[in-house]
């Protein structure tokens, strides 16, 4: 039987126009989705977290012992967003 954990994140955009970036915090790993939801209620009362909507909390399901990044990754600093936007428009 595959064992699962539920990872709680808090994610939002930070910065001003022209310099907006994603901010993400991993808050914990829980043995059930219900426990992760309880943790949201705890964190949502704390300074900083209460300044953002509850939709900023994300729960991800993860199977223990399974590889997660099987397709690899790319460095966002090396990614040419402007070229992609141009390609989409033409």
Interatomic CA distance for residues 43 and 88, integer angstroms: 40
pLDDT, the chain, mean? 86
Looking at the DSSP bridge assignments, the partners of residue 57 are 10
18-58 pLDDT, tens digit each: 888 888 999 999 999 999 999 999 999 999 999 999 999 99
Residue 14: CB partners within 8 Å, gap ≥ 6? 20, 21, 22, 23
**Count of CB atoms situated within 10 Å of the CB of 1:** 3
Interatomic CA distance for residues 86 and 78, integer angstroms: 17
Give the pLDDT confidence score for residue 22 in this predicted structure: 86
The model carries a pTM of 0.72
Residue 31 corresponds to which tokens in the numbers above?
Answer: 């043995």
Residue 61: CB partners within 8 Å, gap ≥ 6? 4, 5, 6, 7, 33
């Amino acid at each position: 039987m595959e064992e699962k954990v539920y990872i709680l994140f808090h994610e939002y955009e930070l910065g001003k126009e022209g310099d907006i970036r994603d901010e993400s915090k991993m808050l914990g790993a829980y043995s059930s989705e219900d426990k992760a939801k309880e943790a949201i209620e705890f964190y949502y009362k704390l300074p900083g977290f209460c300044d953002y909507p509850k939709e900023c909390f994300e729960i991800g399901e993860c199977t223990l012992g399974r590889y997660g990044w099987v397709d690899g990754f790319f460095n966002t600093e090396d990614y040419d967003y402007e070229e992609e936007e141009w390609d989409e428009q033409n």
